[in-house]
Amino acid sequence: MKNPIRITVALDENSYEIFNRLKEELGKSQSELIRRALRFYSNYRDLEKYDTFRIKTYVDMLPEGEHVIVDIDHLIAFLKFIETHPESEKFWEVHKDIARAHAEEFRGRDVRYILGRLEACNFFRINVKNGEWTLVLNHESTKKFVKTFLEELFRSMGIDAEIREDLMKLRLTFRQ
């Protein structure tokens, strides 16, 4: 094995605290921690070109198993099945219950955060212009699902929102 190449690194106080905390948490040597940090940076340095809010949302939602990633075709199949099921109203009531639970989670958050988090779930893409929020849906079949959820969510949060349907879009305006 070839001898390692030695270098000297100067850290500011904040970086040094982070370095020591990571070294302790991971139980790795200083050298191994630096090697890992360099490999990580080399692999992910282009993350800045991605939507960091969306990435943080995924990291927040996925590890606990409370959220899943579902192919859009599966979601559409579920929604089409629900529409024809004789007890479909039960589903929509449960859907509203879930919206009310999310209202509790989102309490104290602004509309931009709430819609941004739902956008990260790929229910829609957001365009904002002149105070009107346009949610561009990824399929016509998701319109009732998204609209019902948002109506109940905003109602439960005391947010006065008008939601209008358009072809493949929902248009939202908020009143103070």
Residue ranges covered by each domain of the chain: 13-49, 52-175
Cβ pair 152, 100 in contact under 8 A:
yes
CA 78 to chain centre: 21
Lowest mean pLDDT among 48-57, 83-92, 136-145: 48-57
Q: What is the pLDDT of residue 42?
A: 85
User: For residue 70, how many other CB atoms are within 10 A of its CB?
Assistant: 11
> To 5 degrees, how large is the angle CA 50–CA 52–CA 54?
95
Pairing of strands 132-137, 169-175: antiparallel
Under the banding of pLDDT at 50, 70 and 90, the label for residue 116 is very high
Q: What is the pLDDT of residue 1?
A: 67
**Domain 52-175: top CATH class:** alpha beta
pTM of the model: 0.71
Buried b (16+ CB within 10 A) or exposed e, 14-44: eeeeebeeeeeeeeeeeeebeeeeeeeeeee
pLDDT tens string 73-100: 999 999 999 999 999 999 999 999 999 9
Under the banding of pLDDT at 50, 70 and 90, the label for residue 132 is very high
